[in-house]
Amino acid sequence: MPDTIVLSPTPVRDLSPFFSPRSIAVVGASRKEGSVGHALVRNLIYGGYTGVIYPINPKAKGIQGIPCFPDLSAIGDPPDLVVVVVPAPFVERVVLQAADMGTRNVLVISAGFKEIGGEGLERENRLRSIARDNGVSILGPNCLGLINTDPTISMNATFGRDIPPHGTLGLISQSGALCAALLDYAKGRGIGFSQFVSFGNKCDVDEVDLLRSIAADPNTRAIMMYVEDVGSGPRFLEAAHEITHGPNPKPILVIKSGRTAEGAAAAASHTGSLAGSDQLYDALMTQAGAFRVETVAQLFDLAEIFTDPLLPAGKKTAIITNAGGPGIMATDACIRHGLELAKFRDYTVKSLQFQMPTVGSIKNPVDVIGDARHDRYRAALDAVTADDQVDQVLVIVTPQTMTDVTEIAHVIGETKEFCNKPMAACLMGLVDVSVGVDLLQKKYAVPTFAFPENAMRSMAAKTRFGQWVRSTVRGYHAFDVDKQGVVDLFDRELAAGRHNLIELKALEALQHYGFPTVRYQLATTADEAVAAAAELGYPVVMKISGPKILHKTDVGGVKLDLRDEAAVRTAYTTMLDSVRRGMGEDVEIWGVIIQQMLAPGKEVILGVTRDERFGPMLMCGLGGIYAETFRDVSFRLAPIRENVAREMIQSLRSVKLLEGVRGEPPSDIDAVAECLLRVSQFVTEHPRIAEMDINPLLVYPRGKGAMVADARIILRHESAGQEQAHA
């Protein structure tokens, strides 16, 4: 038995011809100003593209001074990239022609596909088939195009209005219009891009292919994504985890729009009903180490902080300010976002005491007060950045009468160049301070913000990214289990037409996987019941068992806390009578389960739901009202790495109850984590499981373990052979 699960890696597509083609043909190039075919050629030319452009247009001699070709075949050699802007009905023909010539990369700008439904959808399906059958990669259709600002390529293959400046930000967007707006906003904020791609309907190349490709670009330091849906959760997770936690980690900043709870209503299990698709996306991003943000403004704040790749060593943050109010606001934000105010060493305090005016504050935040000029900022920065108790520094400058903003910006920039600690600047205001902002951003690459809260929130995100990057990646633990036992059990149940495994059968499956389960025996006579109770030890619980008896309590099929032989014997008879009265004389009864009466413990729910895009999703939460009423549950894609089980539990608000409140001893959280890992292995090795609940898992004080008191497994209705193929 191996002790770790090995996942088969997904093949990575080489998309470099899209981003760095030596030659580009534009099919549908046009002389008509305002047309997409014209804008594309213009952008390639004025963008300074370093390769060769072939405009294809049978009716024109030349476009913007470049000779035209009547047809793709007229070029001779196949171009590295074919860009298609002809009307939708003609796209397929062009792609086939490109494939015939030997071109392997086609960018389809044209709209009129899936997004219009009906014949457009059929057209898109045909396009996808053409891609697969001919070994062609298609980006699009219905997209804005792509840009690579690397000076050796300098390619703008979009029909947008503008060419973004060269920078370190990669952008991947499902919406072309949003892309255009983001470019415009970035221009206003002075943010430059490395590569930039709008992927439209993603009939072939998708967001994960592009993510990998952009992450491999050496010019790109951070990746911005706008997505409306992720095609495959596991593929995204694998790629994003490699990017954020690989040898050259890069942050991924995501806006995922469309926050709905589709599909939750249709779920059969408790776990399924708690899984809104939006929560699954949250879980996916957390697990991948990506930052999910709510607003475009936040997206740009994060992009700004990551323009400087240096990560802080820890949470200890110093603030230098020339005004009290913004210093307080920064302090509030520091604490609120989980950072800590650095406590200065004595030597720092002495140095500040010596150099700062007496009315300023030499504690953190350091208040250099309103009349500070650049020399006083420099003294404070020198002292604070030299302190080994400081991991990062925020410098706040408010424009007051004496404030020499430009000189102060130089001081901040110069300090950043020699101190090896991340710094951020907050130059409050937009107009008076704009020269300083420009200097800091362009000359010194110091992330600069208009407000202390935005600066601090972004610094906190970068700090979390630092922790994530430094954290040890654990593998997927494989417990020694009886996998075949479960395969056989599922085969038998499915053969008998049973998809819904409850109690006895569910517990049996879990026992094969080493879960601690409540002890029980099935009795079919009163004598057997008494013997079983004697073996398990009093008190016991009795429950009726039969394939159709779902609501046991309603028909008198449950008796708790039976304390002696007489009670068990009486209960056996009355229970059978009562169930037959309730459900009819011919109800199928397998017998009566005699089960040890468990000591009360904290109730935890573990579960699995299976989502079309995400595959199996693990859930945990506290029982009773916490999961159900307050929806305080956490999700992760299965399989989970060893460290993730504890993270799932810790991310619950109600974890406080497991940690022990009001004088209670802490619960055995390790035992819960182990059960989660076992569920992860169980569901990964048995794709026939559609959904399952362990409810409740009773958790005892630390060191006393946990116990599965009841469980339910729902198998898929697909062919039973599937499991063999997957396993």
Does the protein bind a second copy through residue 296 (CB under 8 A)?
A: yes
Amino acid at 697: L
CA angle 364, 368, 369 (to 5 degrees): 120
DSSP E strands, 153-221 = 155-158, 166-173, 193-198
Q: How far is the CB of 561 from a second copy (least distance, A)?
A: 19
DSSP E strands, 28-104 = 52-56, 62-63, 66-67, 81-84
Instruction: Considering the complex, state which of residue 399 and residue 556 has its C-beta at the smaller distance from a second copy.
Output: 399
Query: If binding means CB under 8 A, how many residues of this protein chain bind a second copy?
Result: 71
- Candidates 203-211, 429-437, 465-473, 701-709 — which segment interacts with a second copy by CB under 8 A? 429-437
Q: How far is the CB of 177 from a second copy (least distance, A)?
A: 3
Does the protein bind a second copy through residue 431 (CB under 8 A)?
A: yes
Q: Which two tokens stand for residue 567?
A: 């009670």
User: Three-state DSSP class for 223?
Assistant: strand
Are residues 65 and 80 in contact, defined by beta-carbon separation less than 8 angstroms? no
Instruction: Considering the complex, state which of residue 137 and residue 175 has its C-beta at the smaller distance from a second copy.
Output: 175
* C-alpha to C-alpha distance for 579 and 548, rounded to whole angstroms: 11
Does the protein bind a second copy through residue 484 (CB under 8 A)?
A: no
Judged on CB neighbours under 10 Å (0-12, 13-18, 19+), 551 is: exposed
Instruction: With CA atoms as reference, report the closest residue to 173 among 163, 164, 183.
Output: 183
Does the protein bind a second copy through residue 515 (CB under 8 A)?
A: no
Instruction: Considering the complex, state which of residue 323 and residue 408 has its C-beta at the smaller distance from a second copy.
Output: 323
Judged on CB neighbours under 10 Å (0-12, 13-18, 19+), 414 is: middle
Instruction: Considering the complex, state which of residue 216 and residue 328 has its C-beta at the smaller distance from a second copy.
Output: 328
Instruction: Considering the complex, state which of residue 470 and residue 653 has its C-beta at the smaller distance from a second copy.
Output: 653
| Distance spanning both ends of the chain, measured CA to CA | 14
Instruction: Considering the complex, state which of residue 179 and residue 542 has its C-beta at the smaller distance from a second copy.
Output: 179
- Candidates 464-472, 544-552, 608-616, 625-633 — which segment interacts with a second copy by CB under 8 A? 625-633
Question: Considering only residues 183, 211, 555, 645, which one is a binding residue for a second copy as defined by CB under 8 A?
Answer: 183
Does the protein bind a second copy through residue 159 (CB under 8 A)?
A: yes
- Candidates 216-224, 347-355, 395-403, 493-501 — which segment interacts with a second copy by CB under 8 A? 395-403
Question: Considering only residues 20, 201, 448, 454, which one is a binding residue for a second copy as defined by CB under 8 A?
Answer: 454
Question: Considering only residues 13, 189, 499, 646, which one is a binding residue for a second copy as defined by CB under 8 A?
Answer: 189
Question: Considering only residues 335, 473, 560, 566, which one is a binding residue for a second copy as defined by CB under 8 A?
Answer: 335
- Candidates 264-272, 508-516, 607-615, 624-632 — which segment interacts with a second copy by CB under 8 A? 624-632
* Cα-based distances in Å from 694 to 62, 270, 277, 534, 710: 70, 10, 21, 27, 6
Instruction: With CA atoms as reference, report the closest residue to 321 among 410, 408, 447, 422.
Output: 408
Count of residues for the chain?
727
Judged on CB neighbours under 10 Å (0-12, 13-18, 19+), 598 is: middle
Does the protein bind a second copy through residue 34 (CB under 8 A)?
A: yes
Does the protein bind a second copy through residue 613 (CB under 8 A)?
A: no
Instruction: Considering the complex, state which of residue 115 and residue 588 has its C-beta at the smaller distance from a second copy.
Output: 115
Does the protein bind a second copy through residue 450 (CB under 8 A)?
A: yes
Does the protein bind a second copy through residue 174 (CB under 8 A)?
A: yes
Where in 241-260 is the site for a second copy (CB under 8 A)?
255, 257-259
Does the protein bind a second copy through residue 180 (CB under 8 A)?
A: yes
Does the protein bind a second copy through residue 653 (CB under 8 A)?
A: yes
Where in 88-127 is the site for a second copy (CB under 8 A)?
115-116
Instruction: Considering the complex, state which of residue 331 and residue 596 has its C-beta at the smaller distance from a second copy.
Output: 331
* Cα-based distances in Å from 296 to 158, 281, 458: 22, 18, 13
Q: How far is the CB of 652 from a second copy (least distance, A)?
A: 12
Question: Considering only residues 226, 281, 513, 635, which one is a binding residue for a second copy as defined by CB under 8 A?
Answer: 226
Does the protein bind a second copy through residue 187 (CB under 8 A)?
A: yes
Instruction: With CA atoms as reference, report the closest residue to 506 among 720, 268, 711.
Output: 711
Instruction: Note if the bond before 639 is cis, omega within 30 degrees.
Output: yes
Judged on CB neighbours under 10 Å (0-12, 13-18, 19+), 499 is: middle
* C-alpha to C-alpha distance for 327 and 366, rounded to whole angstroms: 8
Does the protein bind a second copy through residue 629 (CB under 8 A)?
A: yes
Q: x/- string (CB under 8 A) for a second copy, residues 49-68?
A: --------------------
Are residues 518 and 507 in contact, defined by beta-carbon separation less than 8 angstroms? yes
Does the protein bind a second copy through residue 192 (CB under 8 A)?
A: no
Q: How far is the CB of 147 from a second copy (least distance, A)?
A: 16
Contacts of 681 (CB under 8 A, 6+ apart): 5, 476, 477, 478, 479, 481, 513, 639
Instruction: Considering the complex, state which of residue 475 and residue 666 has its C-beta at the smaller distance from a second copy.
Output: 666
Question: Considering only residues 420, 662, 663, 725, which one is a binding residue for a second copy as defined by CB under 8 A?
Answer: 662
Instruction: Considering the complex, state which of residue 339 and residue 536 has its C-beta at the smaller distance from a second copy.
Output: 339
Does the protein bind a second copy through residue 325 (CB under 8 A)?
A: yes
Instruction: Considering the complex, state which of residue 296 and residue 598 has its C-beta at the smaller distance from a second copy.
Output: 296
Phi/psi-derived region of residue 628, left when phi > 0, alpha when psi is between -120 and 50, beta in every other case:
alpha
Does the protein bind a second copy through residue 657 (CB under 8 A)?
A: yes
Q: Which two tokens stand for residue 298?
A: 């936040």
User: CA gyration radius for the chain?
Assistant: 32
Q: How far is the CB of 370 from a second copy (least distance, A)?
A: 6
Where in 354-393 is the site for a second copy (CB under 8 A)?
358-359, 370
Instruction: Considering the complex, state which of residue 451 and residue 614 has its C-beta at the smaller distance from a second copy.
Output: 451
Where in 543-602 is the site for a second copy (CB under 8 A)?
none
Instruction: With CA atoms as reference, report the closest residue to 703 among 656, 669, 652, 664.
Output: 669
Question: Considering only residues 10, 273, 355, 400, which one is a binding residue for a second copy as defined by CB under 8 A?
Answer: 400
- The residue whose two tokens read 């000591």 is 599
